[in-house]
Amino acid sequence: MDYQKTVVKKYAKVHSSKNTAEAKYWKRFKSPIVIKEFASVSSIFFSPVAPYDFAVTSSTRVQIYSSKTHQPKKTISRFKDIAYSGSFRQDGKLIVAGDATGLVQMFDGGSRAILRSFKAHNLPTQVTQFSTNKSNILSASDDKTVRIWDIPSGESVNIFEEHDDYVRAGVVSQDNPNLFVSGSYDQTVKLWDMRQSESVMTMNHGAPVESLLIYPNGGAVISSGGPVIKVWDLLSGGRCMHTLGNHQKTVTSMCFDGSASRLVTGSLDQHVKIYDVQDYKVVHSVKYPAPILSVGLSPDDTHLAAGMSNGLLSIRQRQIKSSEKAIKKQNQDYIRAGTYKYFMRGQSNTAAKDDFVVEHTKRQRLKKYDQFMKVFQYSNALDEVLRVSIQTPVVVAAVLQELIHRDGLKQAITGRDDVSLEPLMRFLIRNIHHPRFTNLLVDVSEAVIDCYTRVFGQSPLIDDLLSRLTVKVKQEIQLQKDLIETMATLDMLFTKSGSAIVNQ
């Protein structure tokens, strides 16, 4: 059995660093280009295929912007009223959009010609999207209905009428073209199967739903409504896994990055926030001059676009370094040794799905203190970790905790002279007042006192350190007493003020 490494406990960060690798990455989206549209920018949709141009819906038109020049390449303005939700098909050749009259229109991305018009909704249609099977279109309207259209015939093949209010969000699953979700101002998110007439699952968001996303594997749905974002687990019957409340106002738009490892959200609080989907913590935030109505991130993660309520369109571009391109290409081309084709033809050939791969086991690399712990040299392990204690107090605490679990703390601290005992004493003095370490280091201090009580008074150095430790503990105790008194005083004041308000 392999040696189990010392587990270093992770504590909550006291101060969040603004210079993390993640923050540096998102700060590279700079040199923002700001374009003034005629009205608020209600939708931004990037083409799934290179060069990743994007459709911007504003007022009575949909404009196709070039990802290279950041200028409109084509303008589709054949709408009788305000246009909504201009989006590309998976091949980037066709565009669909709805408008305030309820009409849904499909256009040729090259010639801008109207190829199909779908008439059935009688109120504004703010959701339009191609299905992943390329032959159907999803539309959702303020008339409380969701429809599936057949492109060849131009007819509505499915009508879903379970919502009780405006339907303002909808998205088709990439994993299964028969599944899609819709979100309504009736505060519900519904999962539908195009082969059935009734919803498969209903989830209550708790606020009017503005935007929806489905993970590429189809296992989870993200909904936004009010200032709250919720993550729903479809595989467990629609259980809410996470609730995020980092925005101050309504979250209007969401999108994934190219790998679906980051969630990008835009809100009326003028912020775009980026979440890590592993723990759903905010890794970066961008402030804009006006409320955000739409946000989009290109599939190659080079363009971040945001549309605002005052008609501004902000385009931020990240310059890809040549070294990053080389590494990306190398990762795409590299085939790890062990596949059959690698053995037969060399590294330049890609592996097939049915290839047998020899498992590669990594050699376990242990820290120096773990190497000593492995051979039960507890004193040497403690000396090694104390050598860098200023930089890594958490690691020292982990080693001390492991020594206590192994009943090896006494063995590690006994038999020391004043020179070898000094680093441990200084570590205790520096860190015993930190709440995260207090309980542990009090136990260690008691063990040190028990071991060296008989020799105290023989070394001026150790006596001075012991007195400093005593003073530090007394100061901390007095501080805690002062805090308790302050809290008691505040409780009394709050109680009196509350009773005064009631009496009035």
Query: Which tops the pLDDT comparison, 350 or 41?
Result: 41
Residue type at position 99: D
Sheet of strand 220-225, all strands in order from the earlier edge strand to the far edge: 211-214, 220-225, 228-233, 239-244
pLDDT tens digits along 377-429? 888 888 888 887 555 788 888 888 989 888 888 888 888 888 888 888 888 88
Given a cut of 70, is residue 485 above it in pLDDT?
yes
**Tell me, what DSSP letter sits at residue 71?**
S
Q: Residue 17 has what pLDDT?
A: 47
Query: Which tops the pLDDT comparison, 125 or 454?
Result: 125
E strands, 319-430, are: none
Rounded Cα–Cα distance for residues 273 and 267 (Å):
9
Rounded Cα–Cα distance for residues 171 and 181 (Å):
6
Whether residue 504 contacts residue 497, with contact meaning beta carbons closer than 8 Å, is answered with no
Given a cut of 70, is residue 344 above it in pLDDT?
no
Whether residue 239 contacts residue 230, with contact meaning beta carbons closer than 8 Å, is answered with no
User: How deeply is 300 buried, as exposed, middle or buried, from its count of CB atoms within 10 A (0-12, 13-18, 19+)?
Assistant: middle
Residue type at position 203: M
Query: Tokens 């308000």 map to which residue?
Result: 501
Which of 373, 317, 333, 285 shows the shortest CA–CA distance to 31? Answer: 317
Three-class DSSP category at 104: strand
Given a cut of 80, is residue 364 above it in pLDDT?
no
Burial 157-192 (b: 16+ CB within 10 A, else e): ebebebbeebbbbbbbbeeebbbbbbbbbbbbbbbb
Whether residue 435 contacts residue 10, with contact meaning beta carbons closer than 8 Å, is answered with no
Given a cut of 90, is residue 147 above it in pLDDT?
yes
Rounded Cα–Cα distance for residues 402 and 450 (Å):
20
Whether residue 161 contacts residue 145, with contact meaning beta carbons closer than 8 Å, is answered with yes
Least confident of 143-157, 196-210, 310-324: 310-324
Least confident of 102-116, 238-252, 343-357, 363-377: 343-357
Three-class DSSP category at 330: helix
Rounded Cα–Cα distance for residues 459 and 462 (Å):
5
Q: What is the pTM of this model?
A: 0.63
Per-residue tokens: 276: 């890590």
Q: Residue 429 has what pLDDT?
A: 86
Query: pLDDT tier at 31 (50, 70, 90 boundaries)?
Result: confident
Query: Which tops the pLDDT comparison, 232 or 6?
Result: 232
Residue type at position 182: S
List the Cα angle 39/41/45 in 5-degree steps.
145
DSSP per residue over 323-339, as a string?
HHHHHHHHHHH---BTB
Q: Residue 441 has what pLDDT?
A: 86
Whether residue 65 contacts residue 71, with contact meaning beta carbons closer than 8 Å, is answered with yes
Three-class DSSP category at 341: helix
